[in-house]
Each structure stands twice: as C-alpha cells, then as structure tokens.
Structure 1
C-alpha cells in the first residue's frame, strides 16, 4: 500500500456493535507490531469516557513498578529494542486528528502506524470525520445473524464512503468463531460476504477468554498488554498473530 512520504498509516478496528473486542484487537496489534515486528506505533484512545487503553497502561506501569520479575523483563525488552513503549494519546473523536497531527509535528520519532481506538457507536459527535481520515478499516464480524447483518451494513457504508479514494482499504474478518459451529456455516456466510464485494481476510479468530488476560504481577507474562507483546505460548491457537501478520502482508507494511 503506497503512502505519502513521512505520513504514517492511519488504521482502526471499526464496528457499530459493542462487545466485539475492538479495543483488545487495537492493543494486541499495537504491541505485536511495536515490540515484535520493528514497526513504530502510536495509539490514539478515542473511546470516551472510559479510555480503556490509557487506563490499561496506567495499571500496567503501577504493576510493573512493584514486581521485580516484570521490571527485569521490561528492562531487558526495552534495552534490546532500543526504543520506548508506544505513546498513547487521549482524544475525543472530534479532536483526534488535530491531536495526532500536533504530536507528529513535535516528535522526533518516525511513526509507521497510528492505531485509533474509535468509539463504539457511529452516532458519536465527530465520528464520521474521524472515520473519513482512516487509511485502513478492519471490521470484525461474527456468525450471529443479527450482529452479522449490522456489521455488513456498517461495512457497506464504509465502503461507499471510501469508494472515491482507492488508497483507502477495508477488510472484514471472522471473530468470536465458535469451534462447535461447522466450518461449512462460515464458508456459506463468507460466500455471502464475497457477493457484496467486501474483502474478507482468511484468518478466523476463535472465541476465547484469553483476550482478557492482562498483567497480574508475580512475574506472570501477559497476553493483552500495552508494555509487552502477546506471550507466544498463550497466543498459540488464538490466531491473533496470524491475523496481524495477514494484515501487514496484505498492506505491505
């Protein structure tokens, strides 16, 4: 994907349905790419009023500062990488772009990717303008018929919005995949998505509680963290790194 020189890629996991894990996907993507894949990431937390990612960072800093093993792990990681934890900016949907532009003008660090944790409802003030600035949209969908129809309608609306700009890209992916459901069901639904000419990634993310696993202290390696990449052992079978790898390969990052 071609980009303007010196301009980072703006990307967001976006949906009009809550509870699909877009904040978790944002954190896992940012941490995996920043700490494992040699990209430099900036995260913008626009999810008012909870600002979940910013709160997660604050909890982690406090936990790591009190845990000798985690402190040693963090020291080793940041020394080896020779870079700091990715910054997290707090913004409203209306102010997000101007805050990012100001940050990019002032920082001496070259940012490759800006991940926006956007509000969970499209009715939020400034949301349309914020979405119009994105280069890449990643839309999680699930096999629940009501949720799927809502997500597809949202994706079609995004597709119409970006139709005039071929540089902007939209990709859907299966999330919360129930292992008890037959694969054929997802294949049938996937054909329906394809008939709408909506690009669908190959990687399917299973429904699992491991996404909730944060740093708890006592040297415990995390899965979801703003300071560390997803633990490889815990990540096995989650398809998270496979999903992110597919995204970066598709976008040629």
Structure 2
C-alpha cells in the first residue's frame, strides 16, 4: 500500500511575496539534491507560473545543447531519476489531481506542493487549504505585507483550523526577501507582533538576491531557479535554500526518510 504524501503550500494572499519561487526552489532541491519524491500541483489560475516555467525549461533543453548535456549528465548521475511532475490544475480539482498522480506514478511521494491563489473568498480555495498538512506563509519587513499576511493567517486559523474539520497540523511564517545578510532591529519589532499572535516562525530566512530569479538563459550562467535542476552549488552559499530544506524536513518529520 502506498504511503500518503504530505501536502504543503507556501501560501499567502499577498502577491509578490515569493511563494511560487519558494515552491520551485524547495521542490527542486529536495527532489534532485536530497532524493525526496515530490510533485507540484499548480493551482495559480490563470497564469500557472510553475507549469509555464516547466514548459520553458523543456523548450530550452530541446533547443540548447549545453542544457541538454547538463540534463543528460544529471539524470545519468541520478540513475534515471526523472523530473518531478507538475500538474496544471485549479482549486476545484487540486486534491483530486494530487490523488490521481499518487495512483498513476509508480513511486511513493514524500511531499506534494500546492501553488495556490490568495483570494480567500473562493470556496474551492478554502476547501483545498483545509486539505493541507502544513502551510508556510512568506513575509517581508513591510507593513502592507505583514498586515495582509497576518490577516490571512488569522483567517485560516479562525475559519478553517478552528472548525476541527481541516488536516492542517501547523502553520509557519517564513522571512523572505530579507535585505542584506542579516535581519535588522525592524525585524525584531515585527517578530514581537508575531509572537503576540502566537504564530510559529521558521528559523531560516531568505535574502533578497538577484540569484532567486536566475532561470535558464542563452548565456549559460549558473542556474538557480529551475524545475529540472537544483540550484547551482556556486549560488547556493548564502541563499539559505539548503538550510530551509533541512528545516522543512524537520518540521515535516521527514529527516532521514529518503
């Protein structure tokens, strides 16, 4: 009998908070670098950014001998391990799509990531959120972002978790787009507010850096954001993506599970 995968969403109602980028980085690092079996259900209708990224990645692979060689080398080293599936979906069928790929693929998925829209007045989104095991909300040191995200967390806690009818085991906040290498006093002020609301905060924070937007390109610079490759080791240092992956595995109780 197949093991049940853990459903995880980087979720917030604030656009531009980095949830799509975080989803791809976490999935690619865990799948290609650490050997966990992951999938992504892309419900962010109508743009479907992650599904579109996968199409761009495959197109570049077809057209560019450099990336074709990289892919051959990687998938040979990984002994035939394939690219993780990305399903184009929406909130009305997200859970059904997740259940389908679990049945269709000859593997046990460890984690299925969901890239969700942020509009809380969508009944299908609320039902999908209720099926998540863990929610991680990226935040930035901005009053607009903080207020929007904390309102979102409170709404999920009071209107979904409090009913006792959800699968949500925990929600976490994650500092993203941090200016500079270290957090300033402003972050301490915001963390005081977060503590008062009793929301757990992941220890890892991610910097605001150009590398987080570096996809495949005709100049063949080291890759950071890709659905087919993990972040290049030369760019990983200082990004905290590896640290985030390790902390996620602890939170999800998957350490040593690969």
Normalised by the length of structure 1, the TM-score is: 0.92
State how 1:149-228 maps to structure 2 within 5 Å: 149-160=147-158, 161-163=160-162, 164=164, 168-179=169-180, 183-228=184-229
In 1, distance between residues paired with 2:239 and 2:59? 27
Distance 1:136-1:224 versus aligned 2 partners, 3 A rule: same
In 2, distance between residues paired with 1:128 and 1:94? 10
**How far 1:77 moved relative to its partner?**
1.0
Deviation readout 1:26-45 (Å, 9 max, x if unpaired): 10011000001110001111
Asked if 1:148 is matched to 2:146, the reply is: yes
**How far 1:188 moved relative to its partner?**
2.1
Aligned length: 250
In 1, distance between residues paired with 2:221 and 2:61? 10
* Structure 1 residue ranges without an equivalent (≥5): none
Distance 1:182-1:141 versus aligned 2 partners, 3 A rule: closer
**How far 1:166 moved relative to its partner?**
8.0
- 1:75 — aligned with what? 72
In 1, distance between residues paired with 2:207 and 2:105? 38
Query: Are 2:222 and 2:234, in contact at CA under 8 Å, matched by a contact in 1?
Result: no
**How far 1:66 moved relative to its partner?**
2.0
Distance 1:182-1:24 versus aligned 2 partners, 3 A rule: closer
**How far 1:241 moved relative to its partner?**
2.1
Q: Tell me the secondary structure at the aligned position of residue 139 of structure 1.
A: strand
RMSD between superposed Cα atoms in Å = 2.0
**How far 1:59 moved relative to its partner?**
0.8
Q: Tell me the secondary structure at the aligned position of residue 127 of structure 1.
A: helix
* Structure 2 residue ranges without an equivalent (≥5): none
2:35 to 35, 38, 54: 38
Query: Are 2:130 and 2:168, in contact at CA under 8 Å, matched by a contact in 1?
Result: no
State how 1:70-149 maps to structure 2 within 5 Å: 70-82=67-79, 83-149=81-147
**How far 1:200 moved relative to its partner?**
0.4
Q: Which moved more, 1:136-145 or 1:63-72?
A: 63-72
**How far 1:218 moved relative to its partner?**
4.7
Q: Tell me the secondary structure at the aligned position of residue 8 of structure 2.
A: strand
Deviation readout 1:87-111 (Å, 9 max, x if unpaired): 1111111111111112212221211
Query: Are 1:64 and 1:217, in contact at CA under 8 Å, matched by a contact in 2?
Result: no
In 1, distance between residues paired with 2:60 and 2:238? 27
**How far 1:244 moved relative to its partner?**
2.2
Normalised by the length of structure 2, the TM-score is: 0.90
In 2, distance between residues paired with 1:62 and 1:97? 28
